[in-house]
Amino acid sequence: MDNEHINVSIIPLDIVRASPERNLNAVASLMGHVPEGTDIVALPELFTTGFISDMPLLSEMADHSGRTLGTIADISKKYGCAICGSVIASEHGHIFNRAFFHDPDSGTTTFYDKRHLFSLSSEYKYLSAGTAVPPIIPFRGWNISMIVCYDLRFPVWCRSVNYSYDIMIVPANWPQSRGYAWQQLLIARAIENQSCWVGADRSGSDDYGKYDGLADIYNAMGMPIGVKDKVSGVVSATIDRRHISEYRRRLPTGNDMDDFKIIDTGL
């Protein structure tokens, strides 16, 4: 296995609201457009449902998360690639916007619950905020992390202390109306952490806006490197470890970072 390169793709799914089966079928179909040899496929935030502000429907969709993750595991195994995204999930009487990273090599799934809930919408009224920091996931010789959408606006939460991750994946439903901020924040986070950032935005539209064209991949210098398939919309890139290592060696800003301690609030 070539640990010096890793191939990443984004499927910017046009999400059908509250229809897990249709969305999972769409993912299965679009996997046929993902380049051969892809190591990680990133899906959008809440890729099986979209955003829902109806508590009974939220609970129903949360009950589907186990079946969703089972299907994702099957797709991951079939194509030999990790799959990352987020779903509605329930635990101990709370509903979370839960990111997942399924590793086909070990058969394990790592989870992260969205910490920052969007207060300009009703998300914070219906969902519970996560309390755990973004995980570091060893995968094929690389360190991967993940946050969800609005978390992107909070740089301390995203901090890569001592270069703890090489790639950050951001499943999102980020509308075109705030597209400039999305792109600039991804660029800034990549530059300040000297890591690659995968902006896995959705496509299509819903009651909250239009989403097309914002999915992209940025290298450790903040430059867009994603190549978009004109037929499927799948965005792909090959990330070179030597580029990251040389950039960190030549400009070792990570050595001067403030080592902020993120405390679990227990909320």
Active site residues: 45, 114, 149
Which parts of the chain register pLDDT below 50? 267
Helices (H), 158-258: 179-193, 241-250
Burial class (CB in 10 A: 0-12, 13-18, 19+), 135: middle
Q: Which among 22, 36, 35, 101 is positioned nearest to 69, based on CA atoms?
A: 101
Write the CA distances from 105 to 33, 79, 100, 144, 216, integer angstroms: 22, 11, 15, 15, 26
Write the CA distances from 152 to 4, 78, 117, 137, integer angstroms: 27, 31, 11, 18
pLDDT at residue 267, as a whole number? 43
Q: Which among 3, 88, 4, 8 is positioned nearest to 41, based on CA atoms?
A: 8
pLDDT at residue 254, as a whole number? 85
The helix/strand/coil state of 96 is strand
Quick: pLDDT tens for 216-241: 999 999 999 999 999 999 999 999 99
pLDDT at residue 263, as a whole number? 53
pTM of the predicted model as reported, rounded to 2 decimal places = 0.96
pLDDT at residue 1, as a whole number? 57
